[in-house]
Structures are given as structure tokens and as C-alpha cells.
Amino acid sequence: MEPNGDDSARGTGSGGPGARRELSFEELLAQLDGPDQVDLVPDGPATHAVSTSVDDDITAEDGLGDLDLDGMLADMAAAPTAEARAAVRGQALRLFESITNDVDADRGSAPAGGSPPPVVPHDTADGALFTAFDPDHLAVTIDDTTDAGIVQLIIAGGGYGLTAATLGVPVADVRTRFLAFSDGNATVDPHEPHVVVLSTLLAAKPKLRLLCDRMRAPDLDISLPQAAACEHFLEVYPEFWGNLAAKNCTIVFNSSRADSRGGGLYEPGDRVIHMSRLSVTPPGAFVRLLVHETGHALFESTLLDDHPMPPALGTGTVAHLASEYDPLPSGAYETKDLHRDGHEIRQLQVYWDRMSSHAKAFYHAWLILRGHRQHLLCLDLWRDPKGNRLSPEQRRSYQADKFDEFCAEVFMQYALGDLRPYLVTLLADARVEDTVKRAWRNAWRVLEVVATPLLGPRHD
């Protein structure tokens, strides 16, 4: 994830959606079904209504193959004529038609029966505790991962009646007790203050050692609760670590490379997941940030067959592409490079045509759900190292704006066990539109088929 990341590498090909109000996906579909006529070949004898039906394919109707069309477009784009603009517009419409084919197909499945508890609880899921424990107002200086772990457990435990302003003394007390145990000369008194925090901290110590062994990093310095959460996740899915390794994927904790990228970053070039030092991020949020990055590394890459999605598709701007090539007003000069734009749209078409049926189904689901973003599942992931809130609303925009982030976030929710109960409730809710339910069923089916083998069987 990289909510404040640099998008400069994402290239061109689409242009922005413009200043006009962005139409919903369904509104765009309705336009396609409407009476608007499109002249793909302005000098030809016929005009062609663009339909969402495969059988009405524009080029097939003309008897023109793709190569013929490309050659014709190249010729036309040699001069910035109105005909060339119309041809590029036709290409964009054809692409939009492709990505909307079968959009209403219901080939999904639904989670049935009871839902096991989340793999790691996420007690701060709704963000309500953030205000009480705003990291900028903590009455304690976090000198090391011991302090950090204690603060995290107080937050994850619901606060124990404390706030950011009052947890200084309890943190110091627990620290003193914890260090006494480390010296081997203390026993837990079940009636001592903060016994739950202390006991949880002590129970996490062997988990950090296991994680160090697993990562072959004996000096790994992350807090005990965060280490325990990560190790527990990997123990619940015993095959997952091997599947990461099979992809040559590695994890670097305490990496500053992720600091300005939301606290977590996956770099596909060398297949490295970078995780920032996140001092007071509660363990439930921390492990979700990590699993989100594995979602990029494993789920997204598998779904897209290791071919990153072009930005115009990945941000959904392709849906509005054709309107950028509407006929120019009389007397206006062409400002676009139609030859280049036509080529780029063609590349988008090639990419789309090569996507798997599962990838297309998941993309369809995203197109629908981003237009009904109130029905995305959005969990609080606390705060990144630059102080940016990773609030539920931030997660909502994040998923709605970018397909790759939808892939990573939903994979995380699926893996942790958050998505199942959410969908059981949503699918049973008579107030939720059928189109939303259908999209989620289709997404769930893809997760079952593609994500489940990556995780391996769950062992609780």
C-alpha cells in the first residue's frame, strides 16, 4: 500500500476523468445501451451502435479484423483529423465494451455457515480507540520495542480505562515487571495490576524467537505483540510461508523505504515486502498491513499472471476514456497525439484480452463495488510513520480508487477471516442492492479459487 505514494511511475495512456462529474459504472453502461450512435469509420456507409453484446462486435460487423483496424487507424492518425479522433474514440468504446461484457453474470458463491473468529483479533477495527490513544498525545516516550509493545497491548485491550494522557505510569510499571521476568526472578501474581498486558507480553516472547528463526534474522527488533501476531498468522496457514518463498518473496521489517508509502510497500522488481517500524500500531492492525503487502506479492500477481495492470485499467479511468475523444467543437484544433493514444488504447485492449476469466471477474466486481463504496469492507489500520491516518474512510477510497489495492486489501480481509462474517451479513441484508451482492459473490468465488491455494489450509 502506498496511500501517499508517488504515482509518477504509473505512466500515461488515459488522461484524467476531467472536470465533469464522474458517472457511475452503471450510468456509463446505460449510456452504452442508449441511442447514441458511434461512427467508427466516418467515411464508411454505415454507422454502428455500440452494444454491450459480444455478438455486435464492431470489427466483426465490419468484416475488419484487428490488424485491419490497426492499419487503418495508423493511416488515419498520420494527420490529426476529425476522422482520426473518431477512430480513437471508437477504440476506446470497444475497450469499454470489452470490460463490461458479462458484467451481470452471476457465477459467484457465497460464504455459508458459521465464521471462525479472525486469525488475529482486530480490536481497533472501527477506529474508535484512535482518538483516545492518538500517537501524538501519548504521555510516554517510547524508547524501545518493549515500551512499544506495552502501549500496543493497552490499546489492543480496549484501553483498560486509560487514555493517551494517563498511560505513562502503567507503561513504566509493566516494563519494570517484564524486565524482572527477563532476569528470571519473578512470578506472575494474578491480582497484580495490568496482569493481562504483562501475561500477554510474556507469552509473546517465544513467538518472536520463532519469527527470528523463520526469517533467519536473529536480531530482528520488532515488538513482541507484533511479532506474535505475524508468527501466529503464519502458523495458522502453515503453507503460506513456503508459498511466499516459492515466489522468492522476502520481508524486511523496520524498513524506512516504506515510511512514505503508508508503512508497507511491496517492490515487485526484487519481490521484497518492506514494513516500516510502526511503534504503536496495535498487533491486529500491524499484521493486516503485512498481509496486505503479501496480497500484492502473491494474490495480485497470481491473479494477473505477473503482468501488472496498466494504470488506465487499474484506476478505472478507462471507463471514461471515450469521452476524451468526443468530436471537437467547430474550429478547434486537435491537441492530442492521436497516433500515440490509439496505440496505447490498443495496448490496453491486448492486456484486457489476455487476462484470465478470474481476473476479469474480480475486476468486474471492483468496478461495481467502487461505485457502491459504502459496501466495501474498511478496517482501521491506525497510522503510517508520516502521521497519515489509515482510517476506515482512507481504506475505502484506497480500495475504490485502485484495483491493485482492492486486490491486496480484500485478500488481507479474506486471509484474516474478516471478510467472511462481513459478507454473510451483507448478503442477508434485504436493503443491499442485488448488483452489490452479485459483485461480492463473484469476488468471493475468485478468492476461493485463487487465494485459498496461496494461503493453504487453515489450522487453528
Contact residues toward Zn ion (CB under 5 A) are: 1, 405, 408
Full DSSP string of 231-285: HHHHHHSTTHHHHHHHTT-EEESS-GGGTTTTTEEEETTTTEEEE---TT--HHH
- Grid cell of 298 as nine digits: 502473491
Measured from the CB atom, is 2 or 97 closer to Zn ion? Answer: 2
Q: Hunting for cell 515466489 — which residue is that?
A: 247
Measured from the CB atom, is 380 or 405 closer to Zn ion? Answer: 405
Question: In whole angstroms, how close is the CB of 413 to Zn ion at the nearest point?
Answer: 13
Q: Using alpha carbons only, how large is the chain's radius of gyration in Å?
A: 26
Q: Could you tell me which residues are beta bridge partners of residue 252?
A: 274
Question: In whole angstroms, how close is the CB of 286 to Zn ion at the nearest point?
Answer: 15
Question: In whole angstroms, how close is the CB of 296 to Zn ion at the nearest point?
Answer: 5
**C-alpha span between 184 and 199 (Å, rounded):** 15
Backbone angles phi, psi at 225, to 5 degrees: -65, -40
**C-alpha span between 300 and 359 (Å, rounded):** 9
Residue 120 buriedness (CB in 10 A; 0-12 / 13-18 / 19+)? buried
Nearest residue by C-beta to Zn ion?
Answer: 1
Question: In whole angstroms, how close is the CB of 402 to Zn ion at the nearest point?
Answer: 8
Question: In whole angstroms, how close is the CB of 405 to Zn ion at the nearest point?
Answer: 5
Please say whether the beta carbons of 148 and 279 come within 8 A.
yes
**C-alpha span between 35 and 56 (Å, rounded):** 15
Measured from the CB atom, is 324 or 405 closer to Zn ion? Answer: 405
Measured from the CB atom, is 1 or 93 closer to Zn ion? Answer: 1
| Pick from 460, 459, 272, 440: nearest CA to 366 | 440
**C-alpha span between 397 and 1 (Å, rounded):** 12
Question: In whole angstroms, how close is the CB of 119 to Zn ion at the nearest point?
Answer: 19
Element containing residue 93 per DSSP (H, E): helix 82-100
Measured from the CB atom, is 151 or 410 closer to Zn ion? Answer: 410
Length of the chain: 460
Question: In whole angstroms, how close is the CB of 313 to Zn ion at the nearest point?
Answer: 17
Measured from the CB atom, is 231 or 300 closer to Zn ion? Answer: 300
Measured from the CB atom, is 144 or 393 closer to Zn ion? Answer: 393
Measured from the CB atom, is 406 or 444 closer to Zn ion? Answer: 406
Question: In whole angstroms, how close is the CB of 386 to Zn ion at the nearest point?
Answer: 16
Tell me how far CA of residue 22 lies from CA of 114, 150, 316, in angstroms.
Answer: 39, 46, 11
